[in-house]
Amino acid sequence: MRFAIAALCLSAAVGSAGAAEVGVPERGYLYAEANCTECHAIDRGDYDSPYYGAPAFSEIANVPAMSELALYSFFQTPHPTMPNLIVPPGDIRDLVAYIRSLRK
């Protein structure tokens, strides 16, 4: 009995770690389409954000200081202009993967 419970816990831990490793750019795009297009231009080569002052994703991708790490920490703090926008960790990974994929 004790062994069965331990085995269950182990497989659950391994399963979630494996699923969360790598961001999927396509999923990041879908998330951005649903949550960010109100203000940001998110398509490759589109620099015309609907909200004045919101940088286009293609622009963000090519700012040298916007490393993967910088993007991660940015998403872990609330947007200055959008205190309600808290991106779940799994979606952060996908978003970062998408934005990085726009880098020239």
Chain residues that interact with ligand HEC, rule: CB under 6 A: 32, 35-36, 38-40, 51, 53-55, 60, 63, 71, 74, 79-82, 85, 87, 95
Shortest reach from residue 17's CB to ligand HEC, in Å: 24
Q: State phi, psi for 84 to the nearest 5 degrees.
A: -90, -5
Q: How far apart are CA 62 and CA 9, in angstroms?
A: 42
Q: How far apart are CA 26 and CA 61, in angstroms?
A: 16
Shortest reach from residue 20's CB to ligand HEC, in Å: 18
Shortest reach from residue 34's CB to ligand HEC, in Å: 8
